């Protein structure tokens, strides 16, 4: 290789090395910035209210566990019984003063889940078709996911449920 070419090759290698170092270090901003904060809208509740809301959530999950346990056994009676405990006719554990703090959209999404449980119970009894029930459960899980994508619960004394950010 002629010296002129050698110099060129060395320059190219040098440039590649520097690019490599820069890439390995990553974009300067992300190395220093904090992990992304939770951007979901905050429901600001008192500690005991948060407890009630989360307890209801765990009840949802427990009932789903019962339903998915009963499905392969095709125990449609058990499915109907379990689903009804979370239906719109079930005793509401959340007091009106807390409900009043929840945004309309939240209440609508929650109502949609209770209605889904109603329908799961009714259809389990009248149709007795496990595949149909399973597709209803999948559809309902979309509603769970939709709400979880929008809201988080924070403990505080001020009702600031409408604020998008509370950092």
Binding site for ligand HEC (CB under 6 A): 43, 54, 57-58, 60-61, 64, 106, 109-110, 113, 140, 143-144, 147-148, 151-153
Query: Residue 6 or residue 105: which is nearer to ligand HEC going by CB?
Result: 105
Q: CA nearest 144: which of 122, 107, 112?
A: 112
Tokens linked to 57: 């959530």
Nearest distance from residue 91's CB to ligand HEC, in Å?
A: 17
- The SS3 assignment for 102 reads coil
Minimal distance, residue 133 CB to ligand HEC, in Å:
14
Q: How far apart are the first and last CA of the chain?
A: 62
Least distance (Å) between residue 158 CB and ligand HEC: 17
CA distance 54 to 69: 23
Q: Is 14 or 38 the residue whose CB approaches ligand HEC more closely?
A: 38
The angle at the Cα of 100, spanning 98 to 104, to the nearest 5 degrees, equals 120
Nearer to ligand HEC, 6 or 152 (CB): 152
CB of 32 to ligand HEC, least distance (A): 26
Residue 167: other Cβ atoms inside 10 A? 7
């Amino acid at each position: 290789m002629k010296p002129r070419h050698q110099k060129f090759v060395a320059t190219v290698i040098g440039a590649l090395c520097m690019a490599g170092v820069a890439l390995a270090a990553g974009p300067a901003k992300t190395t220093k910035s904090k992990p992304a904060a939770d951007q979901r809208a905050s429901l600001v509740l008192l500690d005991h209210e948060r407890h009630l809301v989360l307890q209801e959530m765990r009840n949802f999950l427990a009932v789903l566990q019962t339903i998915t346990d009963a499905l392969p056994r095709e125990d449609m009676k058990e499915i109907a019984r379990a689903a009804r405990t979370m239906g719109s006719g079930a005793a509401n554990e959340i007091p009106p003063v807390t409900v009043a703090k929840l945004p309309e959209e939240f209440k609508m999404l929650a109502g949609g889940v209770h209605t889904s449980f109603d329908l799961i119970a009714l259809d389990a009894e009248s149709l007795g078709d496990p595949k149909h029930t399973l597709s209803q459960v999948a559809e309902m899980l979309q509603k769970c996911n939709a709400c979880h994508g929008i809201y988080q619960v924070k403990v505080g004394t001020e009702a600031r449920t409408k604020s998008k950010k509370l950092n």
